[in-house]
Amino acid sequence: MPAIVVVGANWGDEGKGKVIDFLAEDVEVVVRYCGGHNAGHTVKNPLGDFAMHLIPCGAFNRKAVNIIGNGVVVSPEAFTKELRMVQDAGIDMTGRLFVSDRAHLILPYHKMLDGLDEKRWGENAIGTTGQGIGPTYADKAARLGIRVGDLMDGEAFRERLRFVLAQKNRLLTQVYELDPISFDELYNQLMVARDDLMPYIAETGTMVRKALAEGKRVLLEGAQGTLLDIDHGTYPYVTSSATSASGAALGSGIPPTQITKALGVFKAYTTRVGGGPMPTELFDDDGAQMRDRGQEFGTTTGRARRCGWFDAVAGKFSVEVNGFTGGALVRLDVLDVFPTVKICTGYRLDGKVTDEFPSHVMDLERCEPVYEELPGWLASTGNARSFADLPANAQAYVRRLEAVLDCPFDVIGVGATREQTIHVRPVL
């Protein structure tokens, strides 16, 4: 059976956690394919509220195998902390959680360098989470990385770490004028982390390919969003991995031909965290109300998210880049109190109106949104369980978004819980 990938359609924080959580109930394998613990998926279910940063959201389906794929960068400390959180909730991950031996490790010097670089760049800082994600991916590309599987051979790992740390200490001492990191202290620290990771390390690509060959349903879990993709996002204000649907095959170890469905997750309005242009950003009471009603604060950092009206120009770009076969529109309920809702259907750039998303961040910074206004519904949508239950104006808003994006919504979210979900058509 082919795989389905769930992708954020904007700058992350779209609500993928909820979507993946309820889809995971009907699959056998869930694979996280990119990013690290800089990403956060919030899951609310009968067991409680969970901030998932690394372990796939399929953890709460007791029959599903959960895989941290080769495209992910893994913090041993974050992994151990999150595993204990899940286990403390009564979820046994024995035989259900695996970490790719090809995934790269986030080490203490990565986090140090992340913060030092942001400080050095000053006003040109990108606004990273400071978790060491970028430096780890940089080492991966520079062939200076240390992989999860390296932990399995203690002596070989010791020599690899000694070589890599020597390069990092030169940077720390000669460029940043800091004290070097002690090899013995770091090695001993990682040997403790090794004990926590060892039971879960596996060659996961083979596992996923075998599951597909056996006709099992595989859900590929994305992190962040398309507009943060290293190639297709608003560079340089992007993350360091391939967050789009195309990255799912690469980061999980399966052929791209095995992915036949791509579900894009859209928020009913637009948000962004960190630096970079956001044409529909609001600085008025409407933006503040969106933030308060949507509790728009980062799962990982706690930073307040920038809020604005739905950006259909950016959304249509995501539809085209990912080839979405359907979408999930979440947090529609946040807009329940607005007498008028707006959709950005074009940008005014240098005196001309365009519906094309610029490839250069300098152009995007100069774009002014062109809005289409629709009447709001001023009624609660939280109890709607079918599309027909939605107020007429809410239905019209959804239909207009589908038309502008050229993407049908299979799922509509009207609240934070699993029950507050409208299934318009089957996804799996």
Using CA atoms, how far apart are residues 281 and 287, in angstroms rounded to an integer? 8
Handedness of CA 420, 423, 426, 427 (dihedral sign): negative
CB atoms within 10 A of CB 202: 17
The first and second tokens of residue 77, run together, are 């400390």
CB-CB contact of 101 with 202 (8 Å)? yes
What amino acid occupies position 258? Answer: Q
Element containing residue 369 per DSSP (H, E): strand 368-375
The first and second tokens of residue 5, run together, are 């990938």
Using CA atoms, how far apart are residues 227 and 246, in angstroms rounded to an integer? 13
Catalytically active residues are 13, 41
User: In sequence order, which residues have a C-beta less than 8 Å from that of residue 211 and are 6 or more positions away?
Assistant: 28, 29, 65, 218
Using CA atoms, how far apart are residues 315 and 313, in angstroms rounded to an integer? 5
CB atoms within 10 A of CB 193: 18
User: In sequence order, which residues have a C-beta less than 8 Å from that of residue 159 and are 6 or more positions away?
Assistant: none
What amino acid occupies position 129? Answer: T
